[in-house]
Amino acid sequence: MKKVTLLVVLLLCATIYAQKFEGLAKTPPMGWNSWNRFRCDVNEKLIREAAQAMVSSGMRDAGYVYINIDDCWHGGRDSLGFVYPDSARFPSGMKALADYVHSLGLKFGIYTDAGWQTCAGKPASRGYEYQDAIMYAKWGVDYVKDDFCFADSLSAIGSYSTMRNAFYSAGRPVVFSLCEGGDHKPWLWGKEVGHLWRTTCDIYAAFDSLEYHNNWNALGVLRIINLQKSIRQYSGPDHWNDPDMLEVGNGMSVNEDRAHFSMWCMLAAPLISGNDLFHMSKETSEILNNKDAIAVDQDTLGISGFAYSENGPIEVWMKPLAAGDWAVCFLNSGRETKEVNFSWKGNIVTDTLTNRVLNPGKDKYTIMDLWKHKETGTTDKDFSAVIPSHDVVMLRLSLKK
């Protein structure tokens, strides 16, 4: 009897003091997710192959560790309400799949939804939060993306907090990714609840356009970038703005993929690749594996970049980095090639959010071109480049001691 009382007290404490698992995403999470490329066509063979490709392509060693299954893995709920996977697609079960992913030195992620059904109409977590959290813990899940379809008038903060508490009481640390599409301004409250939150509706593989659906729109890369400009102050270690998963390798041009990836790094965005890892082109692999660009994204300060200037189609983005360094990205958002000139000494850049100042008139910086992977001089000489349409020049300025 005493044991039962103790258990009840412990469970109550776990619920009262429930919180998110701290420290799981000190830098933006990196991995792969099935949705952007494979939609509902998921099965255990695909997930195993993605995990293998993550290793053989060098991506795991570049930092991509999460293998995340998105919507449509679900079979149903048993008579007690516990969720189980579709046995035709996942005949070995989720525990075996998670074990396999873990055996490759990777982590395992899954998808659910806070409402009555997932966006694809599968069983979702409303009313089953604690049971689902227990099941995921049993399977060995490390990352959960929680959508917000069929949520009717549910409170986003309320239902996501319930799920957070459920994870905490299940006891297995999980990265918690809130995916309500920015409608409830999660940047204002998400820090206490999850490790990252989607800031917009869905991305699709286009650079500067919008795709109409019945009651929602998918956004191209530039549209999403524009929506990040006013919310950088809400992002940081363990609580990231998430402008959605990557579309690199899913149909844009190489220039556009490079610009997309560079800008996600400038934004300190989660880098969740969404392409066919098994059949990647050399160019796609080079973009996703660019360790110099990834270092900008994963910088320990965790500061999201900002648009310092916008001159016609040319945007100059700046991101303060650790040890006094800066990342600078010249983005040509227009449809024509442009010549760009920029005087380092003529621009004192002040980041009002962090009070960091880039003043090449006072301090000298060496410049590394992060796509050419070579040093290109110092800030003593003005910058000048010809940038093709929908492309970037991305630089790292390192303080010369």
User: Does 70 participate in binding ligand GLA (rule CB under 6 A)?
Assistant: yes
User: Does 202 participate in binding ligand GLA (rule CB under 6 A)?
Assistant: yes
User: Does 156 participate in binding ligand GLA (rule CB under 6 A)?
Assistant: no
d(CA 267, CA 12): 39
Amino acid identity, position 15: T
String marking each residue 23-52 x if it binds ligand GLA according to CB under 6 A = ------------x-----------------
What is the closest distance, in whole angstroms, from the C-beta atom of residue 30 to ligand GLA in the complex? 17
What is the closest distance, in whole angstroms, from the C-beta atom of residue 92 to ligand GLA in the complex? 23
User: Does 71 participate in binding ligand GLA (rule CB under 6 A)?
Assistant: yes
Nearest to 262 by CA among 232, 227, 222, 234: 222
User: Does 297 participate in binding ligand GLA (rule CB under 6 A)?
Assistant: no
User: Does 146 participate in binding ligand GLA (rule CB under 6 A)?
Assistant: no
Secondary structure (3-state) at 75: strand
Task: Supply the DSSP string of 103-154, one letter for each residue.
Answer: HTT-EEEEEEESSSB-TTS-B--TT-HHHHHHHHHHHT--EEEEE-TT-TT-
Structure tokens at 326: 């800066």
Active site residue 299: no
Among all chains, which residue has been given the structure tokens 């991509």?
64
What is the closest distance, in whole angstroms, from the C-beta atom of residue 173 to ligand GLA in the complex? 22
Structure tokens at 179: 């995916």
Active site residue 202: yes
Structure tokens at 14: 């776990």
Amino acid identity, position 397: L
Question: Of residues 71, 113, 146, 202, which has the active-site annotation?
Answer: 202
What is the closest distance, in whole angstroms, from the C-beta atom of residue 213 to ligand GLA in the complex? 10
User: Does 257 participate in binding ligand GLA (rule CB under 6 A)?
Assistant: no
From the CB of residue 93, how many other CB atoms can be counted at a distance below 10 Å?
Answer: 14
Where in 108-137 is the site for ligand GLA (CB under 6 A)?
111, 118-120
Structure tokens at 48: 């195993």
What is the closest distance, in whole angstroms, from the C-beta atom of residue 137 to ligand GLA in the complex? 22
Q: Residue 2: exposed, middle, or buried by beta-carbon count in 10 A (0-12, 13-18, 19+)? A: exposed
Cβ proximity of 272 and 261 under 8 Å: no
Looking at the Cβ atoms of 111 and 143, the one nearer to ligand GLA is 111
Q: With CB under 6 A, what is the number of residues at the site for ligand GLA?
A: 10
Looking at the Cβ atoms of 111 and 317, the one nearer to ligand GLA is 111
* Interacting residue with ligand GLA among 42, 179, 287, 321 (CB under 6 A): 179
d(CA 254, CA 273): 15
d(CA 15, CA 146): 20
User: Does 342 participate in binding ligand GLA (rule CB under 6 A)?
Assistant: no
What is the closest distance, in whole angstroms, from the C-beta atom of residue 215 to ligand GLA in the complex? 12
Question: Of residues 70, 71, 142, 147, which has the active-site annotation?
Answer: 147
Phi, psi of 183 (to 5 degrees): -65, -30
Cβ proximity of 40 and 267 under 8 Å: no
Looking at the Cβ atoms of 209 and 311, the one nearer to ligand GLA is 209
User: Does 147 participate in binding ligand GLA (rule CB under 6 A)?
Assistant: yes
Amino acid identity, position 93: G
Q: Kindly state the DSSP code that residue 30 receives in the 8-state scheme.
A: E
Looking at the Cβ atoms of 122 and 319, the one nearer to ligand GLA is 122
What is the closest distance, in whole angstroms, from the C-beta atom of residue 224 to ligand GLA in the complex? 12
Sign of the Cα torsion 352, 186, 192, 304 reads negative
Secondary structure (3-state) at 159: helix
Looking at the Cβ atoms of 60 and 198, the one nearer to ligand GLA is 198
Looking at the Cβ atoms of 120 and 295, the one nearer to ligand GLA is 120
Looking at the Cβ atoms of 159 and 333, the one nearer to ligand GLA is 159
d(CA 349, CA 352): 9
Q: Which positions touch ligand GLA (CB under 6 A)?
A: 35, 70-71, 111, 118-120, 147, 179, 202
> Catalytic site residues?
147, 202
